[in-house]
Structure 1
Amino acid sequence: MPYQPLPIDQSDVRYAYGPDSVVQPGVPTGETIAFDWIDSAIYPGTVRKFWVHVPRQYDPSKPASLMVFQDGWWYLDPDGQVRGATVLDNLIHSGDIPVMIAVFVDPGVFPDAEVPKNRNNEYDAFDDRYVTFLLTEIIPRITARYSIAEEPERWGICGGSSGGNCAFTAAWLRPDKFRRVIGYLSSFAQMPDGNPYPDLIPSVPRKPLRIFLQAGHRDLRWNESQRNWLANNLRVAAALAEAGYDFRLVLGDGGHSPNHGGVLLPDALRWLWRSDNDHGSG
């Protein structure tokens, strides 16, 4: 890696996107299909959109892997900070990750309500409501249309901020379904009853999870003693290390921004979906 001087001011650092985050000539573009979900049993009264990205290489006779992204459009937007579909198209074309169908799910909103957003209620809770919502309401819509592998090793889940906490909790509570996790700047610090993971992770048998975490030096409340987002991510990573998990932590500069996580997505997906014959945990 070439030498790069460290920035003096860590509060507004920007990382540069690599070639896997831009449309490349000769790379087949997958199809993205939009859906509305207006009849949730788990979160009554909410409505939301979700998008399904189907790579050009998808073959119905060969079950595809599955990747679920929270904050759907934020992660899908080709001009945004993450550019998820573009990254997936590039990596599938290069053979760096398997053929996979990706689902980008927006958080729910209550139409016409004074406080319309249901995002924190869905994402920050330490319970199985959200993963149950995915498994019983959203994913059945996908499996009815597409051939999806059933092995949990071929299901991944990703999110940032509260979505990162949500992705971690979904896999933690349902490792029989999701076993590959990406969490960017995860909101462990604002879980309603506190962050259970530093104590919980080493106290139970190790779960068959592969986990990629990203944290920022200047994340929210980085120099405060309570609800410190950086410190909570570091404590979760330390617990994973002490418990022998297959995990990777990338610590970057900058504040609570999706830029670094977006830049990292290609490498995170390569690491997450590497062959099980490669046991290195990075």
Structure 2
Amino acid sequence: MRHSLPAALRVFFSLVTLFGLTAHPARAAETYTEVTSSEGDGEFTIGPDYTVDKDLTDLGNPKGKSFEFTMKLADSKIFRGDDKTLEPDKKPVRTERKIFVYVPAAYKDGTAAPFLIIHDGPGSLKLVRNALDNLTISKDVNRKLPAFIAIAVENGGNDGKNSERGLEYDTMSDRLARFIAEEVLPAVLANADLKAAYPHFALTKNPWGHAVIGCSSGGAAALSMGWFRPDLFRRIIAYSGTFVAQQDDDAAEQAQFPHGAWDYHSELKLIEKSEKKPLRIFTHCSENDLRNKDPEETFHNWVMAGRRTSAALTAKGYHHRFVFSKATGHCDGKVFNQTLADTLVWTWRGYHGE
């Protein structure tokens, strides 16, 4: 008789394959030394006029391969879509989420590749694809990208408090990081179409080779993934980050973080008072980012939250880059079109493989 492994053991062996023995999460980085550099760190103001970076356009360079598949929420052990915090009648939950994967032409089968998780998939995937096509083959060593795999993950549906997307992105915990590591990445590695195209496809175990990008609540989620699990994710990109009080009011995490992501910079001084973590962090805020009518109203002022988060990261001594964009709104496309290539280059600076 054939016996199937218990769910817990299946997850364990998936993690062993992907990251090495989970009892030693830092082992993959023990023989790796990040090449640190302060080049590009600091605060930058752009606008009010904007251009499109040519490296984010199709320049006719060799293209990689794209893959797409779905994951049913009901099959998840972490985000099933049935949490008590949700209000599915008011904010519908998806039954399945799409996963988009782009393998750049510069990737060599059998290489343990670095990767970038993109929230709200496909999100910025088109721009990221163009950046990979153009900058993995760049002759300029100061403007070059490693051949990372782009993995865009669709959220579970809707937005704000009591939604599945809000639960996934605004909750102050390691839950999203675990979901990506324990469920999404093994699904990518097991995808039949991808395995047929790249029989020896592999992802690096080195956490310095694991990046994440998001905008709005996805930006807050990007920081939280690295903050709560720096053993899994260390390169963070947050555009128009929702560093405000948008965590579900009835979430278990409210007891420890009563104002959600606002507590990164609130009177709790989470960033300031916590031990410095091995992270490289990009943040951004638009001049006209979401805010309440009262510009001084706390807990829900995106501009205030973005600036205070940036100040806290800088004061703590993180490798941090902050961009403030004039005459732009929340998750404004003009900002992405001008800055994303530079942001990716800065984010991956110092990475040199395993």
TM range (shorter): 0.7 to 0.9
Other-structure match for 1:267: 342
Query: Is the CA contact 1:21–1:266 (under 8 Å) kept in the aligned structure 2?
Result: yes
Q: Say which SS state the counterpart of residue 43 (structure 1) adopts.
A: coil
Query: Is the CA contact 2:215–2:331 (under 8 Å) kept in the aligned structure 1?
Result: no
Q: How many pairs are equivalent? A: 257
Q: What CA deviation, in whole Å up to 9, does each residue of 1:77-102 have, x standing for no partner?
A: x4xxxx22122222212260111111
- Of 209-218 and 13-22, the range deviating more from structure 2: 13-22
Distance 2:291 2:225 in 1: 25
Query: Is the CA contact 1:180–1:272 (under 8 Å) kept in the aligned structure 2?
Result: yes
Distance 1:187 1:266 in 2: 22
- Using structure 1 for the length normalisation, give the TM-score: 0.85
Other-structure match for 2:233: 178
**TM-aligned CA deviation for residue 120 of structure 1:** 1.4
Distance 1:65 1:242 in 2: 29
Other-structure match for 2:80: 44
Aligned with 1:237 (options 310, 316, 327): 310
Amino acid at match of 1:48: R
**TM-aligned CA deviation for residue 117 of structure 1:** 5.5
Pairing 1:93-172 to 2, within 5 Å after superposition? 93-94=137-138, 96-109=144-157, 118-144=164-190, 145=195, 146-172=201-227
Distance 1:92 1:172 in 2: 28
Query: Is the CA contact 2:99–2:152 (under 8 Å) kept in the aligned structure 1?
Result: yes
Distance 2:107 2:119 in 1: 22
Q: What CA deviation, in whole Å up to 9, does each residue of 1:202-251 have, x standing for no partner?
A: 11210010001111111111724231101101111111111111101011
Q: Say which SS state the counterpart of residue 261 (structure 1) adopts.
A: helix
Distance 1:165 1:116 in 2: 17
Amino acid at match of 2:58: V
Other-structure match for 2:281: 211
**TM-aligned CA deviation for residue 262 of structure 1:** 4.1
Query: Is the CA contact 1:160–1:258 (under 8 Å) kept in the aligned structure 2?
Result: no
Determine whether 1:201 maps to 2:247: no
Other-structure match for 1:3: none
- Of 180-189 and 35-44, the range deviating more from structure 2: 35-44
**TM-aligned CA deviation for residue 37 of structure 1:** 0.5
Determine whether 1:22 maps to 2:57: yes
Distance 2:64 2:105 in 1: 5
Higher CA-based Rg: 2
Q: Say which SS state the counterpart of residue 115 (structure 2) adopts.
A: strand
Q: Say which SS state the counterpart of residue 178 (structure 1) adopts.
A: coil
Higher relative contact order (CA 8 A, sep 6+): 2
Q: Say which SS state the counterpart of residue 137 (structure 2) adopts.
A: helix
Distance 1:14 1:135 in 2: 39
**TM-aligned CA deviation for residue 256 of structure 1:** 1.1
- Of 218-227 and 233-242, the range deviating more from structure 2: 218-227
Query: Is the CA contact 1:214–1:261 (under 8 Å) kept in the aligned structure 2?
Result: no
Unaligned stretches of 5+ in structure 1?
Answer: 1-5, 8-12, 278-282
Q: Say which SS state the counterpart of residue 119 (structure 1) adopts.
A: helix
Identity of aligned residues (%): 34
Distance 1:86 1:131 in 2: 26
**TM-aligned CA deviation for residue 191 of structure 1:** 3.0
Amino acid at match of 1:29: K
Aligned with 2:122 (options 51, 69, 73): 73
Change (3 A) 1:53 1:276: closer
Structure 1 segments, 4+ long, off by >3 Å, are none
Distance 2:187 2:134 in 1: 26
**TM-aligned CA deviation for residue 14 of structure 1:** 6.4
Unaligned stretches of 5+ in structure 2?
Answer: 1-45, 82-94, 196-200, 248-257
Change (3 A) 1:133 1:94: same
Amino acid at match of 1:209: L
Distance 1:129 1:106 in 2: 16
Change (3 A) 1:44 1:273: same
Distance 1:228 1:274 in 2: 31
Aligned with 2:322 (options 229, 246, 249): 249
Q: What CA deviation, in whole Å up to 9, does each residue of 1:148-179 have, x standing for no partner?
A: 11111111010001100010000101101111
